[in-house]
Amino acid sequence: MSMRISVLGGGSWGSVIASMLAEKGDVLLWCREKEVADSVNRKHENELFLPGVHLHEKLTATDDLEAAAADRDVVVLATPAQHMRGILSKASYRFLRGGQLVIASKGIENGTLKLMHEVAEESVPESMHRNIFILSGPTFARELAQKMPSAAVVAGLHPDGSQFIQQLFSLPYFRVYRSPDVVGVQVGGAIKNVIAIGVGIIEGMKLGRNSQSALMTRAIAEMTRLAVKIGANPFTISGLSGLGDLILTCTGEMSRNRQVGIRIGRGEKLADILGGMTMVAEGVPTSISAYQLAQKYEVPMPIVEAVYRVLHEGLDAKEAIAPLMSRSLKEEIYGYGE
């Protein structure tokens, strides 16, 4: 019997996940926009979010959320992080109770400051909690669609389930590792988007590679301090979902968050930038939650704070640099649980 899989989220990332999984089973892709679903079904292409990329011939799409979620063995969530609770509230009652839920969204919910698995736990029956998994790593959708060698990690608290999801997603061009650190994998995947905006700002201001490298490296320290404070393994941040994804998002030309930062560094206004984008730059809303989470747990995250103040409080990017450079001198490694 073929595996029945649904992917909720018809953006570039969701479309590629669905196309990949179509090599393993019967996959139904939910797209919010009817024209996207029609494009996938007629042309095997997501013309709005992933033009020019051919999707698997067996992949089908729908704009009916409840139908997409009903009675599937595996449901993959690839919606923007801030929309995930709303999607689950409308669809989770149709989930197969013994099914697996894989979260491929990266972010921290505004307001509640919840990680994505916590949002899911509040939205699905308790009997499904052990079947919630996180997929994260350095993966540009377009490169993966072109079957360029890539890697990611799946995190879950149920070892057998983690191995099942690991095997399901693994393909000759996609190597998947597994981890029990659900919190650490999510912290890395969420915060790196905020940092990528900061690196982009530096690039837009033409401040050189030294500063970009320093910012990325110190960001690892910030991510690790926060992850440890809320119960993660510090070594997880050195893995694919932390360091790996940080490098990709901060340096890759296809990074939406980096591009937002570059344009801010050149003097453009955030509202104008976001108004012209068809896809979400997750680092913008996540910067709010990340800053507030650091305040809540009293974790020093000066880079995250600087990006937050530039994006949401109107701080001039040039004025954000001096406070970072004039902080009190200290040991390089601190706050990892000692």
Q: Which CATH number covers residue 251?
A: 1.10.1040.10
pLDDT of residue 210: 98
3-state SS assignment for residue 136: strand
pLDDT of residue 337: 64
Q: Which of 163, 180, 197 is the last residue of a domain?
A: 180
**Does residue 335 form part of some domain?**
no
pLDDT of residue 66: 95
pLDDT tens, position by position, for the chain (338 residues)? 479 999 999 999 999 999 999 999 999 999 999 999 999 999 999 999 999 999 999 999 999 999 999 999 999 999 999 999 999 999 999 998 889 999 999 999 999 999 999 999 999 988 899 999 999 999 999 999 999 999 999 999 999 999 999 999 999 999 999 999 999 999 999 999 999 999 999 999 999 999 999 999 999 999 999 999 999 999 999 999 999 999 999 999 999 999 999 999 999 999 999 999 988 999 999 999 999 999 999 999 999 999 999 999 999 999 999 999 999 999 998 877 65
- The answer to whether residues 110 and 164 belong to one domain is yes
pLDDT of residue 317: 96
- The answer to whether residues 113 and 190 belong to one domain is no
Q: What is the CATH number of the domain that holds 9?
A: 3.40.50.720
**Does residue 336 form part of some domain?**
no
- The answer to whether residues 75 and 190 belong to one domain is no
Helices (H) and strands (E) in the chain, counts: 15, 8
Tokens 């699905």 — which residue?
A: 124
- The answer to whether residues 160 and 243 belong to one domain is no
**Does residue 337 form part of some domain?**
no
- The answer to whether residues 73 and 175 belong to one domain is yes
CA gap 67, 57 in Å, rounded:
20
**Does residue 338 form part of some domain?**
no
Q: pTM, whole model, 2 decimals?
A: 0.96
- The answer to whether residues 175 and 192 belong to one domain is no
- The answer to whether residues 92 and 231 belong to one domain is no
- The answer to whether residues 164 and 95 belong to one domain is yes
- The answer to whether residues 295 and 146 belong to one domain is no
Measured between alpha carbons, how far is residue 111 from residues 82, 129, 182, 292 in Å? 10, 22, 21, 9
Q: Which of 180, 205, 240 is the last residue of a domain?
A: 180
pLDDT of residue 326: 96
Number of structural domains found in the chain: 2
Name the catalytic one among 24, 34, 106, 192: 192
DSSP 54: P
Contact between residue 102 and residue 133 where contact means Cβ atoms under 8 Å apart: yes
- The answer to whether residues 175 and 272 belong to one domain is no
Q: Is 269 a catalytic residue?
A: no
pLDDT of residue 226: 97
CA gap 212, 251 in Å, rounded:
9
Range(s) of the domain holding residue 11:
3-180
- The answer to whether residues 253 and 167 belong to one domain is no
pLDDT of residue 115: 98
